[in-house]
Amino acid sequence: MFKIINSIIMLVLPIIPKSLIKIFARQYVAGTTIKESLAIVKKLNDNNLYATIDILGEHTKNINEANEITSNYIRLIENIKKNNLKCNLSIKPSHIGTDISNDIFNENLNKILNKAMVNNNFIRIDMEDSTLTDISINTYKSINSQSLGIVLQAYLYRTIRDIKNLKNNSNIRLCKGIYNEDPNIAIKNNDKIDENYLKLLKLLFKKQIYVGIATHSEKLISKSIELINEMNINRDSFEFQMLYGVPMEKTINILLENNYKVRIYVPFGPLWYEYSIRRIKENPNILKYVIKNILNKIKEALL
């Protein structure tokens, strides 16, 4: 059923007016400006939630653009500090330069990281598709800073080796992985990904590595809590992370009531349209989620 709906939407996607798509995107995107995104972070903080901001965009081809994005991240750090917000940054390597050269990526990442260190903030390298896994992990390891973390994806077969090779002072966000990867390198079955997720989480805990448990899956969240209890993991060794706009209020409230730390990933930026369309084309599953959430809202309104 979803496959048919997906195919129809994919066909009509190019002719849907931008204004209509904006209505749906608004739920998941925190505006187009720094000011708008910070206002949302403030609201989240007021509700005892931490945040991480991402400027939407990827695969920057032009050096001036990559430098401008870098400056915007630096401006964000200044504003987070000025407004005393509980918020760090999430950055896609290809957004700040990997498509131009590894040197440009390194240079820009270091500029942002230095600013973060001075301002007592933290940068997380988001993980993109598998063409960028090596450069992202190698750069992360070579910098070796407590103010820098990275994302690892449970769908990749290589992730277990990557974790085994990490130092204990690493800081990892563990997610399932969003890109459409080749079955030779990635697990395709959702239950098997969940299984691997828990196995990797256990290994991260064993290695005493700080983990951002990034998932909306109720099953994974409760299994993670079981594991935390079983292994007697300290509450300052992990946090839960979710994407802005995904309707998780009930679960978030339960987590907060039980004194777990929860961080919301807040994406914003002028390129929201191009970014959303490209990501939907790459992975129509995102549409499945959006449709499911809309149907749930309609169902709740009717009950």
Residues found near ligand FDA in the complex (CB under 6 A):
126-127, 151, 153, 175-179, 214-217, 241-243, 246, 265, 286, 289-290, 292-293
Which ranges constitute the DSSP H helices of the chain?
2-12, 18-25, 34-46, 63-82, 102-118, 133-143, 159-164, 190-206, 218-231, 249-257, 272-282, 285-302
Question: In the bound complex, what is the minimum distance in angstroms from residue 171's beta carbon to ligand FDA?
Answer: 14
Phi/psi at 184 (nearest 5 deg)? -65, -25
For residue 75, indicate whether it is catalytic. Answer: no
Q: How far is the CB of 286 from ligand FDA (least distance, A)?
A: 5
Residue 118 CB, nearest approach to ligand FDA (Å): 25
Looking at the Cβ atoms of 28 and 205, the one nearer to ligand FDA is 28
- Minimum distance of ligand FDA from residue 63's CB (angstroms): 24
Q: Does the annotation mark 126 as catalytic?
A: yes
Copy the structure tokens of residue 133.
């896994």
CB 240 within 8 A of CB 262: yes
Q: Which residue in 54, 173, 194, 263 is the catalytic one?
A: 173
> Are 159 and 195 in contact, with CB atoms under 8 Å apart?
no
CB 155 to ligand FDA: min, Å? 8
Residue 278 CB-density burial (10 A; 0-12 exposed, 13-18 middle, 19+ buried): middle
Nearer to ligand FDA (CB atom), residue 218 or residue 274: 218
R_g (Cα) of the chain, nearest Å: 19
- Nearer to ligand FDA by Cβ, of 35 and 292: the residue is 292
User: Quick check: 50 and 214 in contact, CB under 8 A?
Assistant: no
Instruction: Give 211's strand partners.
Output: 172, 238
CA distance 87 to 43: 12
Q: Find the catalytic residue in 54, 124, 126, 194.
A: 126
CB 251 → ligand FDA: shortest distance, Å?
A: 10
The distance from CA 42 to its chain's CA centroid, rounded to whole angstroms, is: 19
CA 197 to chain centre: 16
State how far the Cα of 31 lies from the Cα of 22, in Å rounded to an integer.
10
Nearer to ligand FDA, 232 or 300 (CB): 300
CB-based contacts of 106, cutoff 8 Å, min separation 6: 139
**Closer to ligand FDA at the Cβ: 108 or 251?**
251
Nearer to ligand FDA, 62 or 157 (CB): 157
| Beta bridge pairs of residue 149 | 124
Q: Which residues are catalytic?
A: 126, 173
